[in-house]
Structure 1
Amino acid sequence: MLKKCLSLMKVGIPHVNLVLECESISAGSKVCGAFHVKGGWIKQHIKRLECDLVREVPEKSTEFVDAVTTILMSRTIEVNDESQIPFTYHVPDQLAPSSENVSYRFQTRLVFKDDMICNDHDEILITSA
């Protein structure tokens, strides 16, 4: 019962972490890595994994750039289970390089059967091609 209550408060739920092979890439290049999914205190049913590329401009809202991937799944992740899902993405050619005024990040969401969501954010430095 306690574990279920903590799960509803998002304590001890499974989490996702995008691990990139490099943190800097030029526009038009390919970035690789893996999504690391780790189980929590109770087993959960995963519906999907989503990842978007977003741009942040200071004093403005976050802007959607591209839907990187959506992986539909019907999978139960057991307590403390760990798995990796390969990740590859071709960065669009027309992206402006990162600067003091512009930054980019991958925004990853792990969506569970009960529509609970686990988020991860990973910044990437875009350089000139």
Structure 2
Amino acid sequence: MEINRSGEVVKGHFLIKGGTISQELKRIDCDLVTFNRTDEREEIVDSISILTTKIIQSEAVNKIPFSFLLPNNARLSTDTLSYRFKTRLAFKQGVESLDQDAIRIIQD
């Protein structure tokens, strides 16, 4: 789990592992999402998209860099409010892959 502050740039990479056959990756969509445990409501805070034509070879491991600017007005993570990055990979054959990773926003 990453720990960051509002207004910071989160830098990292998407780690994409090839499956049993080679596929052409068309797009990566990544949403910063809040989840409120009180009312079980999820809300998209911000999104990024990366368009590509990268071939993901079978069994290969690929790293695609990204950066994401956290909003200055992002609320702090609490016991009832959490954040995560939800990532979707879209491939040329129409296959979609989903993943999510938690992130905490703390005070300066």
TM-score higher than 0.5: yes
TM-score for the superposition, normalised by structure 2: 0.90
Rounded Cα–Cα distance in structure 2 between residues aligned with 1:29 and 1:117:
29
Residue identity opposite 1:109 in structure 2: R
Q: 1:72 aligns with which of 47, 51, 62?
A: 51
Name which one, 1 or 2, has greater alpha-carbon Rg.
1
Q: Who is 2:15 aligned against? A: 36
Q: How many residues align?
A: 107
Aligned to 1:95: 74
Task: Specify the code of the residue in structure 1 equivalent to 2:53.
Answer: S
CA distance in 1, matches of 2:64, 2:22: 19
CA RMSD of aligned residues (A): 1.4
Specify which structure has the higher proportion of helix: 1
Query: In the TM superposition, what whole-angstrom CA distance separates every residue of 1:22-58 from its partner, at most 9, and x where no partner exists?
Result: 7101111121111111100111121111111000011
Q: Which runs of 4+ in 1 moved over 2 A?
A: none
Gaps of 5+ in 2: none
Task: Name structure 1 gaps, 5 residues minimum.
Answer: 1-21
Q: Is the 8 A contact 1:96 1:128 kept in 2?
A: no
TM-score, normalisation: structure 1:
0.77
Specify which structure has the higher proportion of strand: 2
Q: Counterparts in 2 of 1:6-25, with a 5 A limit?
A: 23-25=2-4
Deviations 1:70-89 (A, max 9, x none): 11112321111221111212
Counterpart-to-counterpart distance in 2, 1:125 and 1:39: 29
Aligned partner letter, 1:71? I
Question: Partner of 2:88 in structure 1?
Answer: 109
